[in-house]
Amino acid sequence: MERKKNISMAVIKRLPKYHRYLRELLKNDVDRISSKELGEKIGFTASQIRQDLNCFGDFGQQGYGYNVKELLNEISGILGLSKEYKMIIVGAGNIGQAIANYTNFEKLAFNLAGIFDINPKLIGLKIRDVEVIDIDGLVAFLKETPIDIGVICVSKNNAQTVADMMVTNGVKGIWNFAPVDLEVPEEIIVENVHLSESLLTLSCLMNDRTYP
């Protein structure tokens, strides 16, 4: 399957939702589903689903719909889930610990290889059998262990320094929870999760509904 060029970020951001719902359908022994039925479950129109999937190839058959297992496998491949990823977390506070404890990542082949922090009270703590290591050991760890994804859960004042350490030592993707925009080389992929921005988006939408 060949992915078409210039696919919008909006389409890409909808793919994980397709993946989640298709996994649930498969768990519930649903073998096939129409674009209309899938749209009703997800909250998209049938036309939107067909347009999104057409960005990546020809799926489904008229009069039959989509084979759930086959479509799930195709979307898993598009999302890069046909391979395993090693990741580390820098920042073992509340957010870092919550991410480390989220078992679904392992099911999706995202394997936590290390956790790092500067706080002496957290160093040595084990989170699901992964010990928190002193941040001073980060560079040595990255030199010995190839890491695909670095998760940044530190303050905005320290985030850029951590990102630089990751990039310099081979990390290709950064999942950034720090409330700051990172400066990285063009080839490095950054996905920002700014919690306050998400909350403000919610409040804006609520305000637009003219709640009292």
Residues of the binding site: 91-96
Binding-site residues for NAD(+) = 91-96
Q: How far apart are CA 188 and CA 175, in angstroms?
A: 11
Q: What are phi and psi of 55, to 5 degrees?
A: -65, -20
Which among 77, 41, 37 is positioned nearest to 57, based on CA atoms? 77
Q: What are phi and psi of 112, to 5 degrees?
A: -80, 120
Task: Show the tokens assigned to 190.
Answer: 């950054």
Q: How far apart are CA 117 and CA 71, in angstroms?
A: 40
Give bridge partners of residue 115 from the DSSP assignment. Answer: 89, 132
Quick one: residue 11, left, alpha or beta (phi over 0 = left, psi -120 to 50 = alpha)? alpha
